[in-house]
Amino acid sequence: MLKQRLSQKMLQKLSPQQIQLMKLLQIPTATLDQRIKEELEANPALDEGEENDLSEIYDLENENKEEGDDEFELDDYLNEYIEDDPTLYRLTSEKFVSEEETKKMPIAVSDTFHEYLETQLGMQELEDDRKLMIAKQIIGSIDADGYLRRDSFSIIDDLLFSQNIVATEQEIEETISMVQTFDPPGICSRNLQESLIIQLNQKENDTEESIVKRARMNALKILMNHFNEFTKKHYKKLQKNLFLSEFELKDAINEILKLNPKPASGHVQNISGTNQYIVPDFIINNRDGEIELVLNSKNAPDLMINDNYLDMLKSFKVNTSGRRASTKEKEAIMFIKQKIDSAKWFIDAIKQRQDTLYNTMYSILQFQYDYFTTGDERRLKPMILKDIAEITGLDISTVSRVANSKFVQTEFGTKRLKDFFSESLQTQDGQEVSTLEVKNILSDIILREDKRKPLSDEKLKDYLQQKGYNIARRTVAKYREQLNIPVARLRKEL
């Protein structure tokens, strides 16, 4: 049986302005200018430049007219905007980077990696344009590491749909073999094993020394017939299967280690075509012992309300003086009002973003003051998102958005904000230290270990406990994995 009833619920719902602010907080400085350009293109009422000179329309402030209840309230809206402090729509202040500094980042201009391969393709003697299109399709399918991870049948489908070319599997394989002869060595391979074999074969005739030739021959046997044992570092099995002495095996392994597991990195230009610059969101300067925090606002130009839209408002006020506005005039002015409101919201959101970023970074700076004055990572204190949220009065999720993908430039290098956050670990004497300190010590121990007999997680735990850190073996394993350090067996060397 159906029933109807009334109920009330309290729900927290974010306004469009709050959602806009949350999205802006997640954007790093490097891409902020692109987001501002998008808004400038979408909203004609938003403009880039100096602050508005509103003095010429201040005399309109007291010209309110008595109108009916159904009349459009233009005067209230116009006066509301006039009464705003013009400096509210300036995005620079003393805590931001000086306007004198350039707002453009240097961009390296050079051929992309794929263009580099296509240049070599132009030196090949191909039968016809059809072969050229097949080769270009294959080159375009090579990924950022230099590998061709699309199978031949997928490339055949790509050619059919995009170029209307019917290719055979044999044609694809022959073209792949041709591209694999290009520079850098190992390019267009389907997997690591194939790439290393190609690189080694291209080196085969580079030397006349018999010892080196024998080492490369053994290395080729390892890659072709015992690749699984090699990746798992089963050196005893390799010695036994290949009848090699320890020195011969070591020479062969060293030849393999000289090869490039990511062939595309052998080209000076990466796959995107431009060098990647880290644009710091914050800059910390040490001026004679005084720490100064500056928010990098190079990519945040001054924003203002478009003067043309202000002129429209003034014109409307003059033209409708003493009479009711028509329906079309009301629609026009509502459109103008919407665009100006949207522009003001965006400017306010950018300002709030800058204030939130600055306040969050300032709190981190105060919390980790000892580190920023010395650069000693052992001085980093345990710090979690909740600590900064309590200091700033912000929500933990807001602090997380600020810390994510943001960088700070210091005299000790450019650091990720999230690297300053860590949990605490208790020492045997009861003191709390940052897990970052423990990870640094763990890395140092593994760096200095005897690679012939790498330390197990249990032995690493014993070393850390000897240094006074109360830590379990499973915690050592977790930290080792976070540092991208393999297990002891895979760290073993001859």
Tens digits of residue pLDDT in 304-329: 888 787 777 777 766 766 667 677 87
34 or 208, which is more confident: 34
Residue 409 has pLDDT above 60, yes or no: yes
Question: Each residue of 264-293: pLDDT tens digit?
Answer: 876 655 444 444 567 888 999 888 878 889
Selection from 274, 260, 269, 262 nearest residue 146 by Cα: 262
In this model, does residue 91 exceed pLDDT 70?
A: no
CA atoms of 460 and 480, how far apart (whole Å): 10
Q: Of 347, 366, 424, whose CA–CA distance to 81 is shortest?
A: 347
Digit-coded pLDDT (tens) for 98-137? 444 444 444 444 568 888 888 888 888 888 888 999 999 9
pLDDT in tens, 152-207: 999 999 888 888 888 899 999 999 999 999 988 899 999 999 999 999 888 766 55
pLDDT confidence bin for 49, thresholds 50/70/90: low
- DSSP state at residue 122: T
Number of residues that make up the chain: 494
- Average pLDDT over the chain reads 78
Gap between the terminal Cα atoms of the chain: 80
At 469 the three-state DSSP class reads: strand
For residues 440 and 377, give the distance between their C-alpha atoms in angstroms, rounded to a whole number: 8
DSSP 177-232: HHHTTSSSTTTTBSSHHHHHHHHHHHHTTS---HHHHHHHHHHHHHHHH-HHHHHT
457, 492, 484, 490: which is closest to 232 by C-alpha?
490
| Res 96 pLDDT > 80 | no
Res. 92: pLDDT tops 60: no
* pLDDT of residue 70 exceeding 60: no
**7 vs 458 pLDDT, higher one:** 458
pLDDT at 483 over 50: yes
Six-digit token pair at 439? 């990870």
The helices-and-strands tally (H runs, E runs) of the chain is: 20, 8
DSSP state, 412?
T
Instruction: Extract the tokens encoding 300.
Output: 């945040």
Per-residue pLDDT reduced to its tens digit, 350-365: 888 888 989 999 999 9
- pLDDT value of residue 175: 92
Q: Is the dihedral of CA 152, 157, 160, 163 positive or negative?
A: negative
Kindly provide the b/e burial profile for residues 360-389, where b requires at least 16 CB atoms within 10 angstroms of the residue's own CB: bbbbbbebbeebbeeeeeeebbbbebebbb
Averaged over 382-409, what is the pLDDT?
88
pLDDT confidence of residue 67: 42
Whole-number pLDDT of residue 390: 92
Selection from 430, 420, 488 nearest residue 459 by Cα? 488
Task: Give start and end residues of each alpha helix (H) in 432-471.
Answer: 435-448, 457-466
Q: In the chain, what are the helix, strand and coil shares in percent, each to the nearest 5?
A: 55, 10, 40
> How far is Cα 138 from Cα 243, in angstroms, rounded to an integer?
41
> Per-residue pLDDT for 339 more than 50?
yes
pLDDT at position 207: 58
pLDDT above 60 for 423: yes
- In which band, very low, low, confident or very high, does the pLDDT at 59 lie, cut at 50, 70 and 90? very low
Q: What is the pLDDT of residue 138?
A: 92
In this prediction, residue 313 carries a pLDDT of: 72
The set of residues, in sequence order, having a beta carbon less than 8 Å from that of 16 and lying 6+ positions away, is 345
For residue 58, what pLDDT is reported? 35
* Domains contained in the chain, CATH given: 15-62+72-100+278-418 (no CATH), 113-266 (no CATH), 424-491 (1.10.10.60)
**Of 111 and 429, the one with more pLDDT:** 429
Band (13; pLDDT cuts 50, 70, 90):
low
Percentage of the chain beyond pLDDT 70 is 78
Range of weakest confidence among 18-22, 142-146, 227-231, 455-459: 18-22
pLDDT category at 76 given cuts 50, 70, 90 is low
Question: Mean per-residue pLDDT for 63-81?
Answer: 46
Separation of alpha carbons 48 and 301, rounded Å: 7
Task: Dihedral sign for Cα 346, 350, 355, 356, please.
Answer: positive
Given this model, what pLDDT does residue 20 score? Answer: 73
The per-residue pLDDT for 299 is 64
User: How far is C-alpha 334 from the chain's CA centre?
Assistant: 40
Tens digit of each residue's pLDDT (9 = 90 or more) over 232-275? 888 888 888 889 888 888 888 888 888 888 888 766 554 444 44
Return d(Cα 310, Cα 340) in angstroms, integer.
9
Q: How far does Cα 374 stand from its chain's mean position?
A: 28
